[in-house]
Amino acid sequence: MLELTRRRELIDTALAMNSLGLNQGCSGNLSLRSGDRILITPSALAYDRCRPQDIVKMDLDGSCRGSGKPSSEWPLHLDIYRTRPEAGAILHAHSPFCTTLACMELAIPPFHYMVAVAGGSTIRCADYALYGSRELSVAVQTALQDRSACLMAHHGMVCFGPTLDQALDLAVEVENLARLYVQALQLGTPNLLTDAQMDAVLEKFSDYRGQAG
C-alpha cells in the first residue's frame, strides 16, 4: 500500500513538473528512493497516461524489478543515489531557461543570493555527453559536487532533494534563477556577489535548516 502511494506521488509530481512549465512532453524524468531500491518514471510514456503500475522499480545495482522500461536517464539517477545518501528524490527536466543557459555552456554565477539554494556560490553546468550514457552520469556527478542542482550542457538540468516536494521546489527555484540570469544578461553583464557575501548567505541558509530541523 505504501509503495502504491509512492508510485502515485511520483506521477503527481511528474504532472506538476509539466503544469509548472518545467517540462514538456515526456523528456524529463523523476525518481524516488524507496529503501534500497528506487522507483523511476518509465521511458517514453506521457505522464498523463502513466499509471502506478507503469512506474519502474530498480535495484541500486541497475537491475529492474518487473517488466517496465525505465527512463533512459536511469544511470544518472542511480549514480546520484549511490553517491549522495541525502538524495531521496531526483528530478531531471529540459526546463526552458536552464536549458537555454546549458545550450550556451553557461553556469549560473552568484548574480543573486538565492543561487546558494543549490548549496554553493554557483550552479555549475556539467560537460556534454550523450543522453543516458555513463559519461553523462560522471559529468553530472562532478558538477553536483557540494551541490544539489546543476545544468547539463546542451541538454537540461537535474536536481535532488530529501523528498519529491523538495526536489520539485528546488527545480522551480533553479529555473527561476536561470530565467532571471538570462534576463539580466540581456541588459548587460551583472555584477556578481563576492565569495564572502555568498559565504554569509550559505551560513544563514544552514542556520535556517538547522532551526527547521
Residues that bind Zn ion (CB under 5 A): 156
Minimum CB separation of residue 196 from Zn ion in Å reads: 36
Q: Which of 102/116 has CB closer to Zn ion?
A: 102
- Catalytic entry in 3, 73, 175, 203: 73
Cβ contact 134:75 at 8 Å: yes
Residue in the shown chain whose Cβ atom is closest to Zn ion: 156
Q: Record the cell numbers describing residue 70, joined without a space.
A: 525505465
From CA 175, how far away is CA 125, in angstroms rounded? Answer: 13
Minimum CB separation of residue 213 from Zn ion in Å reads: 34
Read off the DSSP letter of residue 41.
Answer: P
From CA 126, how far away is CA 140, in angstroms rounded? Answer: 5
Mark whether 105 is an active-site residue: no
From CA 154, how far away is CA 130, in angstroms rounded? Answer: 10
Minimum CB separation of residue 182 from Zn ion in Å reads: 20
Q: Which of 174/201 has CB closer to Zn ion?
A: 174
Cβ-based neighbour number of residue 63 at 10 Å: 9
Q: Which of 153/193 has CB closer to Zn ion?
A: 153
Which residues are known catalytic residues? Answer: 73
